[in-house]
Structures are given as structure tokens and as C-alpha cells.
Structure 1
Amino acid sequence: MDAEVGVRSRPAEPQVDFEDELKRRSIPVRAPAVSWDQRLVEILVAGVVLLITSPIIAMMALIIKLGTPGRVLFFQDRMGLKGRTFKFVKFRTLYADARQRFPDLYAYQYTDEELRALKFKVTNDPRVTPQGRWMRKTTLDELPNFWNVLTGDMALVGPRPEIPEMLKYYDGHMLEKFSVRPGITGLAQISGRGALGFHETVELDVAYVRNRTLALDLKIILLTLVKMVTQEGAF
């Protein structure tokens, strides 16, 4: 899920070793090690994308800075391979004090019925800034994700990284999502993206893990470019 959290005056939260938690719950880890040639391709692609889009990145930073108070970049703990947390980065699209203004949206407490209907990205989200709305529609807010590819925390293709607060809702085969590195884009992103519910997204993530091939990755990348143009499921 790509839910942002306010960046100011965050209340202290208990520290949990999520990797140990996943081990306790018997997460299946079956992903092969990343080969040197695959890693080289990731670094080259991420580096080229960041270089080519640097004028857009600079423009985005200026728009955010002049738009609403707060940081330009948004950092958040996300869960990656084997449940290890890393600092996920993207452009800020929410008000900096969103957590204080809308605390109920950060409780992450759901009944089974609520979880079945849960969609993290909803239309008319009151936390989203005016600038953030069109950034999300164009997916430009996710350009800094390529930095996470350079660091090796993310791949070009894979399940989108989850927030640790949602781990308690994963069980059984759902945990297979964490047996590969998260990606810039994935099967869920070309199959409905923000219009998908929590369970639908996880099922697509697991389907990707079980069927991942180079051909599938290339297909997902190509279809992602199409979805970016049509803005399907982006809001």
C-alpha cells in the first residue's frame, strides 16, 4: 500500500523487529539471489531514469515547496525482502500535518469486513494537497522510488512495498509477498492499481511471486507505461 504518513510531530510507536515476526510466522523465502547482471541492469536503468527526468524532478520539488508547508520528499518505513524495513522515498503528496488532522486514517485497525472492502487510495482523500492530486494521477510522485532501486532495496518489478502496520493482516500464503524484493511496479499496478482492494492486491502480488519470469517482468514494464499514459486506476 502506498499510504503516506504525516512528517511532523509523529507520536512515538513501539519498535518491532518485523523480520523476526515474519520468521515466527514461517514466511516462505524462496527467491533466488539477485545475479550481478540483473543488478547491473537495475542500476543502469534507475540511473538513466533519474538523469533524464532530473528537470522534471527539480520542477516537482519547486512546485511542492511553493505549494504547501513541509518537506519536498516523503520518507517512510516499508517492508521489503524477508520483511526487512527500509526507508522508502517519494515526493510528498499529503499535507505535512495529515496525521494530526486526520488521526483516524492512521489507526490501521480493521474488522474482517472492513479489510475486505479496504482501499488505501480513495477519491477525494482530504489528506492530499492540490499539487499532490495531479502528481498522483501522473505517477510522477513515485520518481524518487528509483533511488530505492539504486540502493538495492527495491527492484524494477515486484510487489509494492507494504507498511509495517499492515503486517498483522497477512497470514498463510499471503506472506509469500515478502519472499521477493518490492518493485517500482508490479502485477497489481497493471491490473487496477488504486481501484483494487487489499486482498485483491495481495493475491496479485502472490501470483507474481509464484509466476515471475523475465518475460512477465518485461510485459509488466510495458503495460505500466501504457497505464501511466491512460492514468487508469491512478488517484
Structure 2
Amino acid sequence: MSTPTVLDLASPRLPSIAEAARPQREHRSRASSESLAKRGVDILGSALGLLLLLPILLVVAALVAITSPGGALYRQTRVGLDGQPFSMIKFRTMRSDSDDVLVRLKAVAGASGTASGPLFKLVDDPRVTPLGRILRRFSIDELPQLVNVLRGDMSLVGPRPALPAEVDAYCPRALRRLEVVPGMTGAWQVGGRSTLSWEEGLDLDLHYVDRWSLRYDAAILLQTVRAVVAPVGAY
């Protein structure tokens, strides 16, 4: 029997933009037992992951530190549940002065960058180090976020946490992404990552916000493994 995909578990079709804009609050009425079970899975999964991956994490941290100037870890303020900020941890994949040159890059990006909705990404970002490109391609740079999951800032599955500047540019519909705990992986990530437009990715995230379940989470985690092994839209 084949593994169900995220789209299989979501619905016969994803909601249109108009449908997704309608107020839906299924997730707010769910029994607290399911929310507690989700948190239990997060604690167990993140703790086990950190324990099993510790040797790999140490090796990657050493490689990041010795291949480019700067620390191995990068902390960045992100927006979590109900708009609360928290410090998200990643392996550093960019030059240590990357934040200082971001404004200039936005000004000269032109057709080489993507600016869909409030998001901005460069297909070939010159700030990314050679090692960083490898870490990003296989999502290894995200592994330290298991600490964020263990702390409760994030979940294993949920919409990716946004930057404060991105949230400032959200329309009312997009603010609904903040109604669940952000995740290390989510429907947007396994559905195409950077190959999707802002509206397409938002549709996937809001569909998850309205209909999340432990079964839905399990399907996303399984699809994440496939997406990491054969990455599409990762840069």
C-alpha cells in the first residue's frame, strides 16, 4: 500500500483563494487531548532526534566554523504562535556580514530574485557559502531547530515561522498562519517549497491551519523525508 501524500489527506482539491479566505475555526474547537498529543510527539521526536543526530550536529558545526569566518550557529528572530517572537536556531549558511548587505541585494536583485508576496529570496544568493549551499539543499541547516521544538517555540510540523518584517506585510488572511505553532516542516515545504508562488504556498498553509491532525502531521513528516532525499525548490 502506497504512503498517502499530503494532498491525499488534505481534500479532493485544495481550497481556492476565495474559499480559504472564509473564516474557519475547526482547529480551535479540537479536543485539548489532541493538542496535548501533538506536543507529546514534538517533545519525544525532538529529544530523540537530538540524541541520535548529536554526532552529525557536532561534525556539521565544526565544518561550518572552519570553512568560513563566524560562529557555527545563527540565531534569528521569528514570529510564532499568536504573533509572539522567538529566537530560531539554524546552522549558519551565509557569510557573517549577510544581514548588512541584504538591503543592497534587494535593490539589485532584479529578475534573479523572487519577491512573491512578503517573501524575498534569491535563486543564486551570493551571501551563501559553498558549504551552506549543501546544507540548505538537504535541509541540514534546519536541524538545530529541534531545540526550538523541544522548548515549545516550534512544532515538528506547521507553517514555517516568518520574519517580523514579513508579518508586518501580511494581509489579514495571511495572519491566520499565526494561529498554530510554526513547524520545522509543513505542507508548503513538501508541496514545492520555493517553486510555489506566495498565494499557492499560503493556500497550503491555511489548509493545514484549518484541518491539522496527527494523521496529517504524520503524512507531512513522511513526505519531508522524500523531499529531503530528492530536494526540489531548495536554495
CA spacing shift, 1:154–1:38, aligned 2, 3 Å? same
Partner of 2:213: 213
Q: Is structure 2 residue 137 aligned with structure 1 residue 140?
A: no
Partner of 2:76: 76
d(CA) in 2 for partners of 1:74, 1:96: 9
d(CA) in 2 for partners of 1:119, 1:173: 15
Provide the secondary structure at the position in 2 that maps to 1:74: strand
TM-score in terms of structure 2 length: 0.79
Partner of 1:154: 154
Partner of 1:170: 170
Contact 2:77 2:85 in 1 (8 A): yes
Contact 1:149 1:155 in 2 (8 A): yes
Contact 2:73 2:89 in 1 (8 A): yes
d(CA) in 2 for partners of 1:115, 1:123: 11
Partner of 1:93: 93
Partner of 1:54: 54
Q: Per-residue deviation at 1:199?
A: 2.8
CA spacing shift, 1:119–1:168, aligned 2, 3 Å? closer
Q: Per-residue deviation at 1:40?
A: 2.3
Structure 1 residue ranges without an equivalent (≥5): 1-26, 108-113
Q: Per-residue deviation at 1:117?
A: 7.0
TM-score in terms of structure 1 length: 0.79
Partner of 2:192: 192
Q: Per-residue deviation at 1:122?
A: 3.2
Provide the secondary structure at the position in 2 that maps to 1:184: strand
Provide the secondary structure at the position in 1 that maps to 2:122: coil
d(CA) in 2 for partners of 1:173, 1:198: 12
Q: CA RMSD in A?
A: 2.3
Q: Per-residue deviation at 1:102?
A: 4.1
Q: Which range is displaced more, 213-222 or 87-96?
A: 213-222
Provide the secondary structure at the position in 1 that maps to 2:153: coil
d(CA) in 2 for partners of 1:117, 1:214: 30
AA in 2 matched with 1:87: S
Provide the secondary structure at the position in 1 that maps to 2:89: strand
Contact 1:122 1:194 in 2 (8 A): no
Provide the secondary structure at the position in 1 that maps to 2:126: coil
Partner of 1:122: 122
Contact 1:99 1:106 in 2 (8 A): no
CA spacing shift, 1:124–1:180, aligned 2, 3 Å? same
d(CA) in 2 for partners of 1:88, 1:223: 23
Which aligned runs of 4 or more in structure 1 are off by greater than 4 angstroms? 27-30
d(CA) in 1 for partners of 2:163, 2:216: 25
Q: Per-residue deviation at 1:106?
A: 6.4
% identical equivalent positions: 38
Contact 2:186 2:220 in 1 (8 A): yes
Contact 1:91 1:141 in 2 (8 A): yes
